[in-house]
Every structure is written in structure tokens, then in C-alpha cells.
Amino acid sequence: MAGLGVNIDHVATVRQARQTNEPDPVWAAAQAQLGGADCITFHLRADRRHI
């Protein structure tokens, strides 16, 4: 059976575009996990942009 994987890269991209502390990628990951996600994917960039 296939599991559910959630990519939260776009949460960090939105936060960077808005230049605020929200939405919080950690909160998004926790919500995905509570919703039944089997894995969380987040790609870290070498320049740490979007973090």
C-alpha cells in the first residue's frame, strides 16, 4: 500500500514571499502528520533561502 508524503517547500516559499514569519513550516509539517501523512519532505537550499 502506498503511503502519503507531504512536501512543505511551498509553505516556506510563501513565507519568504510575504517577508513574515507565517506560515510556519514546522506547523505545516505537524498538521500534515496529524492528518495522517507517512512522511514529510522539505528541501534545504545551500543558501538557506526560504528557511
Contacts with 28 (C-beta within 8 Å, 6 or more apart), sequence order: 8, 11
Q: Give the residue ranges of the chain where pLDDT is below 70.
A: 48-51
What pLDDT shows up at residue 23? 92
What pLDDT shows up at residue 48? 64
Q: Which amino acid is at 19?
A: Q
Residues 50, 15 contacting (CB under 8 angstroms): yes
What pLDDT shows up at residue 44? 79
What pLDDT shows up at residue 49? 63
Q: For residue 7, report the phi and psi dihedrals to the nearest 5 degrees.
A: -100, 120
pTM of the model: 0.77
- Look over the chain and give the mean of its residue pLDDT values, rounded to a whole number: 88
Question: For residues 29 and 15, what is the distance between their CA atoms, to the nearest angstrom?
Answer: 14
Do strands 5-7 and 39-41 pair parallel, antiparallel, or not at all (unpaired)? parallel
